[in-house]
Amino acid sequence: MLVSIDARPEPLEIDLGRTTIMVVDMQNAFASVGGMFDLVGQDVSAAKGVIQTIKKLTRAARAKGVKVIYLCMSYAPDMSNSGGPGSPNWHKEFGLAAMNRHPQYRGKFLIRGSWDADIVDELKPEEGDIVIEKSRYSGFRGTSLDVVLKTLDAKYLIFTGIATNVCVESTLRDGYFLDYWPILVADATNNAGPPVTQEATLWNVEALFGWVATSGNVLKALG
C-alpha cells in the first residue's frame, strides 16, 4: 500500500508493506526516573511525551500490519560484549563511561535482565514485534538487524526513540549507508545533551541522510 508522508525536505511516498517502525532504546535507563540518565544528571522529563507519542505510532503501525522493531542497549553481566578497556566503546559509551566514573554504579547500568535495561512499561513489545539487543550505539553493529530487515523486505525505516543524537542517529546513518530510506519522527525522539544536539540531528537527517516528519503526519499516512 503506497502512502505519502508530508516530510522535510519534501514529501516522501512509501510502501507500508515495506516499512518498519524502529523504536530505539526506550529503556528505563534512558527514559525513567531512577534510570541511568536520571542518576547521572541527564534530564528525562521530556521522555514522558516521547513515550506517549511512540505508543500512538506503534499502535497505528500494528493496525496496518507494519512491523515494529525494538532496539535495546544491553551488556552481558560479565561485560564480555563491551569491548573491554582496549575498546573506545569502554571509554565513551554512555553507560560504560558512567560506570567507570562512578564505581557505585558498576554492574548496574544497562545489564541484560536488569530493570535499567528493560523497555519502559508503557511500550512493552507485543506479539509479532521484534526485539534486537545491541552493545554499540548503532543497531546494525554486531546484530542481526540487517538480516531481519532484508527478510522482511523492508525498505523504509521510521525512527523513534532515545537519544536522537546518539543511538537513533547512529542507527539511522548506518541504515542510510545500507540503502534503507530513513524517516526521523522529530517529536518521537529525545536527545542527550543541550537542545542544539536535537537540532543538529534534525538538520543532518533533513539535509543529508533522510527525511524528518512529525508524528501527526506519520499517523495521517498510517491512516
Verify cis geometry, omega within 30 degrees of 0, for the bond prior to 163: yes
Which run of H or E residues covers position 206?
Answer: none
Q: For the chain, state the CA radius of gyration.
A: 17
Rounded CA separation 32/70 (Å) = 17
Rounded CA separation 110/116 (Å) = 6
Cell numbers of 200, please?
543538529
Q: CB-based contacts of 106: which residues, under 8 Å, 6+ apart? A: 99, 100
Residue 167 annotated in active site: yes
Residue 174 annotated in active site: no
Active-site position among 72, 108, 116, 167: 167
Partner residues linked to 134 by β-bridges: 73
Give the end-to-end CA distance of the chain in Å, rounded to a whole number: 11
Helix segments in 45-130, DSSP class H: 47-63, 88-92, 94-101
The two beta strands, 19-24 and 130-134, are unpaired
Q: CB-based contacts of 120: which residues, under 8 Å, 6+ apart? A: 26, 27, 28, 31, 32, 51
Residue 118 annotated in active site: no
Active-site position among 67, 108, 116, 134: 134
Active-site position among 25, 116, 118, 174: 25
Please give the positions annotated as active site: 25, 134, 167
